């Protein structure tokens, strides 16, 4: 460095230009953080609404992550893309990621439907790895959505990748990632077969729990219908009321 300039690749870059670029990168990354914050708020509202109105929520929990600048640059180099902010915005669509974990497979599609109904969200792409699992057994529903971020001087439309899974799918994916990391991507063939078998077992568990949930719901609905049938209608001062028939019998005997 000499006289407020930095020697980078044998070129003298003014320090002010470097500071300006640093501020631009910082602001660029902030928009992705704000987009994640926006998505987490939306998910939390949906979760609380369902819990309050239905005493049940299809959303178990969420986890967000933001790629580091180093990871982004490495991906650009690996994919042979230009290293620029415009190149990042065009080619790297998973800088901001949000994982949504659900109890049942049907909940995954319920959450997707709710998000698609959000007027300010634009769904750019959907990859259904539940209906069409990857060859290694990976299952999840991926949505790429565009989120508006309102800054002081402009509105940015930022991509966020959503991964919606069941608890079993998330458990398998997390362990599979740890195993691959331990073996530095070079996993022995026999372990790959066992991982695929474990993914199939997790899928069978999901289907079994879904079936049990439907059976329990059917029993509850039948019970509610039976209670409804036991209610009898009476009219008092021109108003209609429904009360248990057994209470009417007791009143009639008194």
pLDDT in tens, 61-92: 999 999 988 888 888 889 998 888 888 888 99
8 A C-beta contact, residue 170 and residue 205: no
Phi, psi dihedral angles at 193 (to 5 degrees): -65, -40
Cα 166 to chain centroid, rounded:
11
8 A C-beta contact, residue 126 and residue 109: no
pLDDT of residue 245: 58
Q: Which residue has the higher pLDDT, 127 or 252?
A: 127
CA distance 68 to 138: 25
pLDDT of residue 5: 43
Would you say the C-alpha torsion 175, 125, 153, 117 has a positive or negative sign?
Answer: negative
> Is the pLDDT confidence value at 228 over 60?
no
- The tokens describing 24, both together, are 């631009």
pLDDT of residue 254: 59
pLDDT of residue 225: 65
CA distance 172 to 169: 5
> Is the pLDDT confidence value at 231 over 60?
no
Give this prediction's pTM. 0.77
Residue tagged active-site, from 38, 156, 161, 176 = 161
User: pLDDT over 90 for what percent of the chain?
Assistant: 51
DSSP 8-state assignment for residue 92: -
Residue 184 CB partners (closer than 8 Å, separation 6+): none
- The answer to whether 161 is a known catalytic residue is yes
Strand partners, 155: 150
Crossing angle of the two packed helices 189-230 and 105-116, in degrees rounded to 10: 80
pLDDT of residue 239: 67
């Amino acid at each position: 460095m000499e006289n407020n300039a930095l020697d980078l690749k044998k070129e003298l870059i003014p320090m002010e230009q470097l500071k300006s670029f640093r501020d631009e990168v910082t602001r660029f990354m902030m928009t992705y953080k704000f987009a994640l914050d926006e998505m987490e708020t939306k998910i939390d509202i949906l979760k609380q609404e369902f819990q309050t109105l239905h005493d049940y929520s299809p959303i178990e929990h969420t986890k967000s992550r933001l790629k580091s600048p180093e990871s982004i640059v490495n991906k650009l180099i690996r994919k042979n893309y230009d290293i620029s902010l415009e190149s990042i915005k065009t080619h790297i669509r998973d800088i901001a990621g949000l994982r949504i974990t659900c109890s049942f497979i049907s909940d995954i599609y319920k959450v997707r439907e709710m998000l698609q109904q959000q007027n300010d969200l634009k769904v750019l792409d959907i990859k259904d790895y539940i209906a069409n699992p990857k060859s290694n057994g990976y299952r999840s529903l991926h949505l790429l959505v565009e989120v508006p971020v309102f800054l002081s001087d402009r509105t940015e439309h930022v991509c966020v990748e959503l991964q919606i899974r069941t608890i079993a799918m998330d458990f398998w994916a997390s362990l599979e990632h740890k195993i691959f990391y331990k073996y530095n991507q070079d996993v022995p063939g026999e372990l790959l077969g066992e991982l695929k078998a474990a993914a199939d077992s997790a899928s069978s568990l999901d289907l079994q729990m879904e079936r049990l949930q439907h059976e329990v719901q059917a029993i509850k609905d039948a019970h509610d219908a039976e209670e409804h049938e036991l209610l009898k209608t009476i009219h008092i001062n021109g108003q209609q009321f429904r009360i248990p028939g057994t209470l009417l019998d007791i009143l009639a005997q008194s």
